[in-house]
Amino acid sequence: MKRLCTALSWDIEASGQSCKAPAVRGWKVCRFHGARGGAPKGERNERYVHGERTQDAMAVRRAITELIRISREAAVSIGFDQTGD
C-alpha cells in the first residue's frame, strides 16, 4: 500500500482533509506539496537581487550582534558609563 501525502487542506471552504496523492518515496508529502521542490540557492536563483538576506550575510550579522552584546556587557562590568554622565 502506497503512503499518502500528509499535507492538510488550508482552503477556508475545505474540510481540513489530507491530500489524497501518493507521497514521494523518502518524503512525507507528494510532489504538489513540496517533495523534491525548491528553488536554487543564491545567485543561481532567478529572483536573486543583492544577497542581503542570504544565509551567509545573516550569519555575519548575527556574529556582529553577538560581539556588540559581549562588548557592552564587558563595558558595564568594568564600570564604563555609556550615557556619558
Mean pLDDT computed over 1-8: 84
Q: Answer whether residue 37 shows pLDDT above 80.
A: no
Q: If you search the block for the grid coordinates 500500500, which residue do you land on?
A: 1
Q: Is 5 helix (H, G, I), strand (E, B) or coil?
A: coil
Strands (E), the chain: none
Distance CA 67, CA 16 (A): 46
Mean pLDDT computed over 33-50: 82
* Residues 19 and 30 sit within 8 Å (Cβ to Cβ): yes
Residue ranges of domains in the chain: 1-38, 41-77
